[in-house]
Amino acid sequence: MDISSEWTREAGPRVEASRDLDASKVQAPGIIERPGGGFRLFYTAVGPGRPYPECQGYILSAVSDDGLEFSPEPGIRLCPCPDVAHMSLRLLAPSIVQLADGRFRMYIEARGTSDRPTVITSAISEDQLEWQHEEGVRLMTPDGLGGPRVIYLPDGRCRLLACADDYGEGGRAGGQRNGKHIVSAISENGLDFAFEPGERIRSGQEFHDAMGITAGQLLAPSGPSGAWTMVYSAWQDAPAGRHVPIHPSDPSTADTPPEELDFAAASIAADISGFRSRIFQAMSEDGLSFGPPECIVAGGGYESDELDAVHAEDMSVITLGDGRRRMYYAACDTAGRWRIASAVTGS
């Protein structure tokens, strides 16, 4: 597969396991500038320091002056709520925006037990450190939504991109996912969203996206072409005949009590059982209909020793002061070690 030279992967991880809170898995970053300068990187993690035994993931943070060297911050930024059914087990894939009043809103994928569809929820903060869940669900479908990414449009409205599970006519109870596609919704206030018609990008078009799309971020036009860019990550299926363990978030595992499940170990076993993920981009004149994709970040595969050899996904892109863009993404090597890596344009 050809890989565009527009993006250059940067050496080393930006964030990796360093404490009991993130010792088992580090994934799904979300980047934002800090009010006082530098950057704050939010990320999904789980480890033996989790706040309750059934918990499968929460949001942590790390800070950096230059966007390359990050120092983890103590504590958990946002934790699931065991007594709220739609977010009883896991939070992941944070997307953070600053509001007109100076506060910050985080959109997250929230998960309960695997028989329930994933939903998009939100939290609010004055300082990027102390977060409070906002009541209700921002966006949901019968089959499940994940990987939220938010952008403010020129007219002041908010567009939320998310990846929609598609279980076909049988629905989620059938347990066989047919795809995972990028959809979008519009809001005037950042809380109440209405779906836009159709799909922004549909999975299952080529071998590289046969298993679905896990995140899609819309980037506003920045050059003379006036084109919108969708950056997204897609999963390739495991080779035929390969034994693939069932991922613990699959609906067919609904009869396994969360307290009896080692979520991190079970999910990593599935992650490195033959699947691959890569990051792509596609262009659009209107931000709704997109042309053919090109691969922009990919590891070397199961024979490689790169930190993103097997997986590069769930990216978060920020524009730097000099006009370049830096992408932070979840990276997995052949040993199943998940870390946060980065790539940059124009280097």
CATH code (residue 54): 2.115.10.20
Instruction: Classify residue 1: in a domain, yes or no.
Output: no
* Collapsed DSSP state (helix, strand, coil) of residue 259: helix
Instruction: Classify residue 18: in a domain, yes or no.
Output: yes
Instruction: Classify residue 139: in a domain, yes or no.
Output: yes
Question: At 230, which amino acid appears?
Answer: M
Give the sheet arrangement for strand 25-33, strand by strand: 25-33, 39-46, 58-64, 71-72
Instruction: Classify residue 2: in a domain, yes or no.
Output: no
* Collapsed DSSP state (helix, strand, coil) of residue 344: strand
Does the pLDDT value for residue 347 go beyond 70? no
* Exposure class string for 60-78: b at 16+ Cβ within 10 A, else e: bbbbbeebeebebbeebbb
Instruction: Count CB-CB contacts under 10 A for residue 48.
Output: 10
Q: Which domain holds residue 313?
A: 7-345
Instruction: Classify residue 174: in a domain, yes or no.
Output: yes
Which pairing describes strands 212-219 and 193-195: parallel, antiparallel, or unpaired?
unpaired
> In the structure, what pLDDT confidence band is assigned to residue 186 with cuts at 50, 70 and 90?
very high
Residue scoring higher pLDDT (226 or 347)? 226
What pLDDT is attached to residue 261? 66
Residue range 75-94: mean pLDDT, rounded? 98
Instruction: Classify residue 46: in a domain, yes or no.
Output: yes
Distance between CA atoms of residues 16 and 24, nearest Å:
10
Question: At 145, which amino acid appears?
Answer: L
Does the pLDDT value for residue 255 go beyond 60? no
Count up the domains in the chain and report the number. Answer: 1
117-131, 149-163, 165-179, 223-237: the lowest-pLDDT one: 165-179
Q: Tell me which residue of 92, 88, 126 sits closest to 109, measured CA to CA.
A: 92
What pLDDT is attached to residue 3? 82
Instruction: Classify residue 275: in a domain, yes or no.
Output: yes
Rounded to two decimals, the pTM is 0.96
* Collapsed DSSP state (helix, strand, coil) of residue 85: helix
Instruction: Classify residue 132: in a domain, yes or no.
Output: yes
220: Cα separation from own chain's centroid: 19
User: What tokens were used for 317?
Assistant: 């892109």
pLDDT digits (tens, 9 = 90+) for 38-60: 999 999 999 999 999 999 999 99
